[in-house]
Structure 1
Amino acid sequence: MRLSVAIVGSGPSGFYAAESLLSAFPDCEIDILERLPTPFGLVRFGVAPDHQSVKRVTEGYEKTVSSGRVHYYGNVEVGRDVTMAELRDCYDAVVLAVGAPRDRPIGIPGEDKRGILGSAAFVGWYNGHPDFANLHPNIDVERAIVVGNGNVALDIARILVLSPNELAATDIAEEAADAITRSKLREVIVLGRRGAAQARFTNPELRAFARLDRGTPCVEGDSLSEHALEGLSEKPRRQAERNLETLRSFAELKEKTATRRITFQFFARPLEVLGGESVTGLRVAQTRLEGSRVVETGAQEDLSCGLIIKAIGYRSPRIPGIPFDAARGRLRNRDGRIAPGLYAVGWAKRGPSGVIGTNKADGKALAEQLRDDMKTQGKPGRKALEARLTARQVRWVTYRDWRLIDEAEIAAGQGDHPRRKFVSVADMLALLDRAQENTT
């Protein structure tokens, strides 16, 4: 009997799962379901638009889906077009690769004011995610604060200060590029509640700030001494040493002519968002470390700003009938197993951690688990899925359809733009309708 597997989600974790399963089960049948017409998830909508080399990872995903044993079903939402129970009835195994697309709240007063956004929403907006096409954030402010000390926080701060020439070489959404170019923004503060040595951003991301056309990085306060490294184990210490060296080097850039400034402010914990209906500032408490604990010193500071972006982590979506680990923001599972025949991979399994390649290990672990677990197989799989979708008149998007969308986006790119993304599902489907009409 042929093993049939449905993978819900078409980001890196979903494709790496498919790749491992193809290797482990030579005659398996794999179907990838994605609620949007477009595949690649985090690579398309999470990777910064000026990191085009990172996006080439999709070339490997192309090989996986071109194997002939993997089918893509875009524009199919589990819960809307087919239920989880139906999927489990149709397939021997269902794999949830839904990522962690929800923002974690800070949990401070004023978090609901206009002008404070989560990084998932903001990054989705400038990356052309259809869910956030109507976000229209006001970035025409003099100062913005990015709360967080990870790579996402650095991505956001960097994108906000890019010059028109730098933006021209990206696939950023057109509205976002126009807004960044027109903005009167003068300063972006990157705020961390711990010190520079405890920051989670990587050194290549940090070094990029020294090469910006119109942004000058600097460090607020004294947090770069050698004492900052005390208590760190070997691997974190090496990363921290590189980061501290880079942050110190920013002092040499003070004479650089630039219209926008990126200020790294450490040891500051957000306390309250200030303002009426809209953000006018952020009150922060100065902090220090006691061992590994962050404690407040008693001193506070009010930072004026017109925009706050939270980049403090993500959460997986809750799925009806699937146990959820609220503390960790992920699907409740035991090393990827949720229930018989039901599995999780990627951020849905581990929580939001690691880089794109980290998901490869989850795919290999999944293949081993299915070898152990699949004592019986032979559910109808793809045939049963298509019968349900057809009966409900669901318009699913094939991988061939996606290639038409892809070609149209690339053709619409101007100058150095690698592509101009569709930001509306309706526009994508309209393109496919026109293509179908032209072939009949």
Structure 2
Amino acid sequence: MVFRLARRAWGSRSICASRFPSSSLSYSSSCSSSHPLHVCVVGSGPAGFYTAEKMLKSHKGAEVDIIDRLPTPFGLVRSGVAPDHPETKIVINQFSRVAVDQRCSFFGNVTLGASISLSELRELYHVVVLAYGAESDRVLGVPGEDLAGIYSAREFVWWYNGHPDCNTLSPDLRTTDTAIVLGQGNVALDVARVLLRDSAALATTDIAEHALVALAESSIRKVYLVGRRGPAQAACTAKELREILGIKNLHVHIQEADLKLSYLDEEELKNSRIQKRVYELFCKGASQHLNTTSCQRELHFVFFRKPDSFLQSDTEGRVSGVHLEKTVLKETGTGKQSAFGSGQFEDLQAGLVLKSIGYKSLSIDGLPFDSHRGIVPNIRGRVLRDGSEPHLLEKGLYVAGWLKRGPTGIIATNLYCSEETVYSISEDIEQGKFTETADMRLGRAGLVQLLENRGITYVTFSDWEKIDCIERAAGNRKNKPREKIASWGELLRAAKA
């Protein structure tokens, strides 16, 4: 699909000077409203909305369109944040104010690579920012990983959060009393907490109804959180750890021997106040729970272990546990310690295994991609042309969020990440890097025409507000913030009612 182009320049104004003081750029806001700067942001999670917000504030002549493959906006704020963390979801109010700006439009149910190609987007828009995050998972690559009863933590989180891709997941929580979570980061702690909390405490959250029913009938009373390294290197934050250690009527089991620090551990903790606080919480948790063995539910932190293979039950194709190898830590020359197998093994029995070993971004046709790191090669958000030496930039193409830096950080991390990307865009505009193609493009009008010609039912933000209204009303009847609609069909019907 080729669009005829007419030359047109645009202007912009200064952004975020306090964050990026190295530049003395002075942007103007003299962009003609008849020929605006057309920007498309792919992905409506935190990185996408922060990018849109920064672009609207920084370039008064810009029109920003946000597209997402889901009919619902807000990405992991809706489908990734634990239901018992409502305070984290308040940022949706900020994103909603961006979406209703007259220069911003939301297009849900539009899949990049299927509904529209990247090359078509780049013809329609002056600037394309990819911020679609990570919707797949890293794999362990060990025997038995495909056994039934093994899920990624992402799938499990999407299941209890009502994501339409995972509403039929149906993890078996009734035929086993033990679950193993591989990983000790915040997501791992989230899923362990959801499994171990009294379902009555979750009934007043926005947890999906199908998950609430399954958790109320769950037989799981024991969860093992398994990590390759020790408590001095645990990847969780102090806030998440404090919360799970504070669950009432829960026996937390931490081996005293695992809390002993080596000289290298002590050096690591000296250099990280955050990590030191996490370690202190582990020590406090171990001492506080010494006399709580009568509790019905148990949480075991298992350090210095890595999965070697998965065990199969007598029922063909189902997992019955994990064959673990004990690890030892060795300095790798980077000031950090890595875990290496010791050749000693042990088995841990469980009928449910959740792998919380990291999310993974997916590539699309026409996009340079580093499959090893799971990111798009970039310099401060500017996409690098694939295989170019010396490095050349893909004009008008940028990344933000997990696709830019990998699946790390918290929601606020995306604010700084997006700020950097928008600053790069502004620099490129000021330095005249778009002058050869600084032309009139079709932008929003062209996108609407293309989608309608292809018979694609896109969801506007007004359509989302219909979904939101229905969910809130249904939740109100159950004393919940909302009752999420969890299937594609029902979401689209609600949007177009």
> TM-score category by the smaller chain?
over 0.9
| Preserved contact between residue 11 and residue 42 of structure 1 (Cα < 8 Å) | yes
| Preserved contact between residue 375 and residue 404 of structure 2 (Cα < 8 Å) | yes
Matching of residues 199-218 of structure 1 within 5 Å: 199-218=234-253
What is the one-letter code of the residue matched to 1:308?
V
| Preserved contact between residue 6 and residue 93 of structure 1 (Cα < 8 Å) | yes
CA spacing shift, 1:63–1:138, aligned 2, 3 Å:
same
User: How many residues get paired?
Assistant: 433
* Separation in 1, partners of 2:184, 2:439: 46
Structure 2 equivalent of residue 334 of structure 1: 379
1:278 aligns with 2:318: yes
CA spacing shift, 1:420–1:363, aligned 2, 3 Å:
same
Alpha-carbon offset, residue 186 of structure 1: 1.8
Structure 2 equivalent of residue 185 of structure 1: 220
* Separation in 1, partners of 2:224, 2:479: 30
SS of residue matched to 1:325: coil
SS of residue matched to 2:423: helix
| Preserved contact between residue 153 and residue 190 of structure 1 (Cα < 8 Å) | yes
* Gapped regions of structure 2 (runs ≥ 5): 1-34, 332-336, 384-393
* Separation in 1, partners of 2:86, 2:375: 29
* Separation in 1, partners of 2:325, 2:91: 41
* Separation in 2, partners of 1:219, 1:35: 42
Post-superposition CA distance 1:260-306 (Å, at most 9, x none):
11100100111010115110110111112122132223321100110
343, 350, 357: which one pairs with 2:412?
357
Structure 2 equivalent of residue 437 of structure 1: none
* Separation in 1, partners of 2:173, 2:260: 34
Structure 1 equivalent of residue 17 of structure 2: none
1:379 aligns with 2:441: yes
Alpha-carbon offset, residue 14 of structure 1: 0.2
417, 420, 423: which one pairs with 2:480?
417
* Separation in 2, partners of 1:415, 1:242: 39
1:97 aligns with 2:131: yes
SS of residue matched to 1:426: helix
| Preserved contact between residue 173 and residue 217 of structure 2 (Cα < 8 Å) | no
Q: When the two structures are superposed, what TM-score results if normalisation uses the length of structure 1?
A: 0.95
155, 167, 191: which one pairs with 2:190?
155
* Separation in 2, partners of 1:210, 1:287: 25
* Separation in 2, partners of 1:263, 1:33: 42
Alpha-carbon offset, residue 253 of structure 1: 2.8
What is the one-letter code of the residue matched to 2:305?
A
Post-superposition CA distance 1:325-356 (Å, at most 9, x none):
11111223233222111111000010111111
Structure 2 equivalent of residue 403 of structure 1: 465
What is the one-letter code of the residue matched to 2:300?
T
* Separation in 2, partners of 1:178, 1:214: 21
163, 183, 200: which one pairs with 1:165?
200
* Separation in 1, partners of 2:255, 2:308: 19
1:138 aligns with 2:175: no
Say which is worse superposed, 385-394 or 253-262, in terms of deviation.
Answer: 253-262
SS of residue matched to 1:134: coil
* Gapped regions of structure 1 (runs ≥ 5): 435-440
CA spacing shift, 1:206–1:44, aligned 2, 3 Å:
same
Say which is worse superposed, 8-17 or 83-92, in terms of deviation.
Answer: 83-92
What is the one-letter code of the residue matched to 1:432?
A
Q: Which runs of 4+ in 1 moved over 6 A?
A: none
Alpha-carbon offset, residue 415 of structure 1: 4.1
* Separation in 1, partners of 2:181, 2:154: 13
| Preserved contact between residue 49 and residue 170 of structure 1 (Cα < 8 Å) | yes
1:391 aligns with 2:473: no
| Preserved contact between residue 84 and residue 205 of structure 2 (Cα < 8 Å) | yes
SS of residue matched to 2:345: strand
Say which is worse superposed, 76-85 or 347-356, in terms of deviation.
Answer: 76-85
CA-based RMSD of the aligned residues comes to 1.6
| Preserved contact between residue 269 and residue 276 of structure 2 (Cα < 8 Å) | no
- Structure index of larger Rg: 2
* Separation in 1, partners of 2:53, 2:71: 21
Post-superposition CA distance 1:398-417 (Å, at most 9, x none):
11111111111111114442
| Preserved contact between residue 161 and residue 180 of structure 1 (Cα < 8 Å) | no
* Separation in 2, partners of 1:309, 1:359: 26
Structure 2 equivalent of residue 261 of structure 1: 298
Q: When the two structures are superposed, what TM-score results if normalisation uses the length of structure 2?
A: 0.84
- % identical aligned pairs: 40
SS of residue matched to 2:179: strand
Structure 2 equivalent of residue 230 of structure 1: 266
| Preserved contact between residue 400 and residue 418 of structure 2 (Cα < 8 Å) | yes
What is the one-letter code of the residue matched to 1:394?
I
What is the one-letter code of the residue matched to 2:489?
A
91, 114, 132: which one pairs with 2:148?
114
CA spacing shift, 1:372–1:241, aligned 2, 3 Å:
closer
What is the one-letter code of the residue matched to 1:317?
L
SS of residue matched to 1:245: helix
Say which is worse superposed, 312-321 or 192-201, in terms of deviation.
Answer: 312-321
Post-superposition CA distance 1:356-379 (Å, at most 9, x none):
111112222222222232332431
* Separation in 2, partners of 1:240, 1:385: 47
Say which is worse superposed, 246-255 or 394-403, in terms of deviation.
Answer: 246-255
Alpha-carbon offset, residue 13 of structure 1: 0.2
Alpha-carbon offset, residue 109 of structure 1: 0.8
Structure 2 equivalent of residue 438 of structure 1: none
Alpha-carbon offset, residue 122 of structure 1: 1.1
Structure 1 equivalent of residue 10 of structure 2: none
SS of residue matched to 2:257: coil
What is the one-letter code of the residue matched to 1:252?
Q
SS of residue matched to 2:274: helix
Query: In proportion to residue count, which structure has more helix?
Result: 1
Post-superposition CA distance 1:5-44 (Å, at most 9, x none):
0111100000000011111101200000011110000101
